[in-house]
Structure 1
Amino acid sequence: MPSQPRPKRVSAAHALDRTKLLAARLKAAGSQPYLASALYSLTVVPSHEVPTMGVDRHWRCYVNPAFVDATPVHELTAVWVHEVAHLLRDHHGRAMLVAPEMRYDHHRVNIAQDCEINDDISSLPSNALRPAMFGLPDGQMFEQYLPHIPPTPHHPECGSGAHGREMPWESSDAARVSAVEAAAIRRQTANEMRAHAKSRGRIPEGWRRWADDILEPTVDWRRALTGAVREAASWASAAVDYTYQRPSRRGTAVPRVVFPSLRRPMPRVAVVVDTSGSMGDGELKAVLGEVAGVLRAVGIGRNRVTVLACDADVHAVRQANTVGDVVLAGGGGTDMRVGIEQALRAQERPHIVIVLTDGYTPWPEVRPGNVRVIAGLVGDCPDAPPSWIETVPIPLDQLGTGRT
């Protein structure tokens, strides 16, 4: 939402000027016809609590009547495009993939999202948030902007349809768009953008990239890695065994006989990090930080994770409490076999070994028993690991972004 002064509180009797508001939507659909289907999928909900205009994740657009009265039609037209862009670009879904230490500040997330959107909208007010206000280039995704957004007095409030946090004024029982319907709207809009570009000329670059991603999606490596780790963790947790440390309650039915109980192990994870000369520190920190987020998302606590820094030898082994605790020592040749073997020799043998490397390494010839190995291959890997290693490509251009 563009940075607008908060309108004065008005009485509940103050009616929404629907004619003006809907005229602005009609103008938006006329100037950018490929957005028409999405714009007319929004349900208008008058609200005196929303500061200006905002959307929830169910495609309901909350509108303050005083804001409509105070805003020219051409600016309302741009605000319509701005709000529907949050939903088309699935900002609320992508916000859930942001690292928790950044996600908690929903204003900061909203600012970064506005920067992603507003560089493609020319008719917004001059005080609308744009990347240049923060010394950032146009054309990036909000996940790339987010780490560079400082504390700011601007507090845009575009609703849960943007940053994902439900707001107090989102309490309407109005019609909602389901997740399945939203996906269909996004795909239809992307098709209309592509058709418009072929028949009538160019569309804004940000929208062109978005349409290409919708119609020809790339795999988000975070989702792929999360799925692989979750599946491996489920596999490890299923390795139940009997133990006498906690006798079974069934023993109460048979005096003087002790029955064992079933033990379900909590998965332990070892992360082997390639610190050879071919891996940059910035890339390593970015990947390791996001892997830590993946493990938290799967429910593997930090006390169950060990990180090993390895090039041709293992230089540091420690329990990982935070990314900052990890010593990325090394810088020589590359042999991930050494790191994997060191991880397997631990007193508490891991159930899952995650190897983060650019792939310029030899690999073990045989699969270690009862241990799942997952390789996160950073950059352009020349050779694939053995087939028993689950591989997740990590493109360098997706580091620091949440693109799908």
Structure 2
Amino acid sequence: MEKLMAARLHAVKVRPYLAAALFALHVVEDRSVPTMAVDAYWRCYVSPGFVARTPLEELAGVWVHEVSHLLRDHHGRSERYAREHEKYGPGERLRRNIAADFEINDDIYGDGLPMPTGAVLPSLLRLSHGLLMEEYLRQSSMSGLAADLAWLDCGSGADGHDRPWELGADGARKLSNHQRDAIRFRVAEGIKGRPGNAPEGWRRWADDAFHPPQPWRRLLGAAVRSAAGAPGPGEDHSYRRASRRSAALPGVLLPSLRRMPPRVCVVIDTSGSVSDAELGSALLEVAAIARAVGGRRDAVSVISCDAAAGVAVALCRAEKIELVGGGGTDLRSGFARALRSRPRPDVIVALTDGQTPWPSAPPPCRTVVGLFPRFAGPARSMDEETADYVPDQPPPWARVVTIG
């Protein structure tokens, strides 16, 4: 274990933009694992014998390789490919694993990270570098490699096929969907922040990771900045520097107006009608909102709200926030709780599916509503008990942005 952890530290040193993902992996020792493997829940299964016989720097390369499968969602992409092409079985599992390795291995090594022994490259089949897993699967049957690579097994995190040694969905120390998405978001932002340090494959991944066709995150950030930058929010008077108008009034000291970081309260709809995927998107928006107000996480708080509002929680890391709820929906209580917070927020952001009653009067601060896409157009009936139920549309005093 000491050697394994030292190898992870080396991986973080040479690939710092992957640090959040590497430290999120939970290690499970298992002698039945051929080498190292991951499952879709971010557990890393490790063979002690493999660790003992592998040089430390090569072991760091295996760490980066395995976490790359998870960041690039090879689990979900492999399952979709298998369903679309109706290709299952051990041979197809191996093909998907090889294709996923091709996508990863063509540009992650070098610059302090030596290629591990046995790593497969697209050049083995005279294929081009820089393609995606699906493209490699379409271009080659990989039958020439299957016999020699029967030992290759990166786990269900690489090909979507469960293994006997894996703990599964009910096992301990798994990451939820929104935690996994939050980690991907942090890694992508780290790569985009220092683009010269990452290979082309990672830069392409970061550009595509959270950019659906509609620029909803840019719109949401602009809406928050617009609300926070309007006259009133974030303004305060201070005697630490005299106002320039004091010169016109000898003997009178006037305070100057200074800008304070705007305080933003995010009300997240956690009712039963909101899916886990949408809650994951909500946590990603919390991280984006913190960036929109200048990165001051101490100025952002979060309230979970279904039929009743929870306590306002200060933001530390978006993926660490526990969202509670699952009942009915009444965001009016969330708005009331936000306005009772001290200090009172300058901006309220409500992230919801729209299936809620709204306050009858506008709050005394700027308001932005992030709508999950099911109510992007005309409202549909979503209430299971009342067939003719039609949810209220967001009120006109709120700035509405559809979350993609």
Q: Structure 2 length as normaliser, TM-score?
A: 0.47
Q: Structure 1 length as normaliser, TM-score?
A: 0.47
